[in-house]
Amino acid sequence: MEKNILNHYVLDRLESIKWNLSSYRKNKESKYLHHLRVDIKKINALFSFAEKVYKEKYNTALLKPLFHQAGEIRLIQINLQLLDAVPNPPEQLITELRSKEHTAGQKLIDDGPQHLIRIKHFREETRLPELLPEKKTISKYFKKEWKKAENLLQHIDRENLHSYRKKIKKILYFYEALPKKIQDKIKIDIAAIDQQQQCVGDWHDTYLAIDFLSPEHFPMQKSDYLLDLKEKEKKQFNTLRKNLNNNRKGKKFNALSVTTMLWLCIPLLVFPFILKFSGNFKKQQV
């Protein structure tokens, strides 16, 4: 059996984090912050598996400062993109957010050398087992994780729906780390799972947009815009809840069919074009 698959995967993710951090420090493009945060999430997903299977403690504490600092900037950028789609946005708020983005971005640039040192220490201190467990053990892990995700759908509220998405994204991230020959042995519809998490993500974008576009930031004459947004979110959530609930019954270790999920996502995919932006309004977590 090939050795050090998991260790090589972690090293690849760390190299990607370093590259994206260096790229952001050069030109401040937001995509680099998004990519490095995703890489850290992927390492977290792998460590979650390793802790359960190898009964050892692993953590990404050394990477958390970078994750949260990049997340703070990403949230400001997303909110600025959202304001760009609002009729007659408050200029003072836009100015404040741009100032915060500049300050936070410059701090990340200044803190870059310290982040690189932490990444180096993390690489030196982290060592996963050389050999993967048996395929049966890996398959059992996936089944348990999928069951946990499905249990969140027994009572679908907004909090559980968001938690469900985080669960299935973690499944996707770990699946990506496995060799193809093992992936082929695990009977899950990755395309359908990815479609599911994207649909729930579209709803969550709307949900957090409502929280940001609150009366605190906008005068009363824009209340109609916010009411329309709330109605959109309600329809999105109810559509998701109905279809996820219907399709969960009788399903075992598989996701909804791609066809079903595409039908489910049709009303959700319209909203991002209306707002003219893309991004993830997810609360910053590791």
pLDDT at 172: 93
Instruction: Specify whether the CB–CB gap between 47 and 60 falls below 8 A.
Output: yes
All structural domains of the chain with their residue ranges: 1-133, 155-286
**Each residue's pLDDT expressed in tens, for the chain with a length of 286 residues:** 567 899 999 999 999 999 999 999 999 999 999 999 999 999 999 999 999 999 999 989 999 999 999 999 999 999 998 888 777 788 888 999 999 999 999 999 999 999 999 999 999 999 999 999 998 999 999 999 989 998 998 889 999 999 999 999 999 999 999 998 888 888 778 888 888 888 899 999 889 888 888 766 665 545 677 888 889 999 999 999 888 887 776 454 344 444 444 444 544 444 444 444 333 333 344 4
pLDDT at 1: 54
pLDDT at 92: 87
Quote the CA–CA distance of 204 and 254 in Å, as a whole number: 23
Q: Is 201 exposed, middle or buried (0-12, 13-18, 19+ CB in 10 A)?
A: middle
pLDDT at 217: 62
Quote the CA–CA distance of 176 and 127 in Å, as a whole number: 19
CA 38-40-42 angle, to 5 degrees, is 70
Instruction: Specify whether the CB–CB gap between 262 and 256 falls below 8 A.
Output: no
3-state secondary structure of 138: helix
CB neighbourhood size of 281 (10 A):
19
255 φ, ψ to 5°?
-95, 175
pLDDT at 123: 95
Q: Is 134 exposed, middle or buried (0-12, 13-18, 19+ CB in 10 A)?
A: exposed
pLDDT at 51: 94
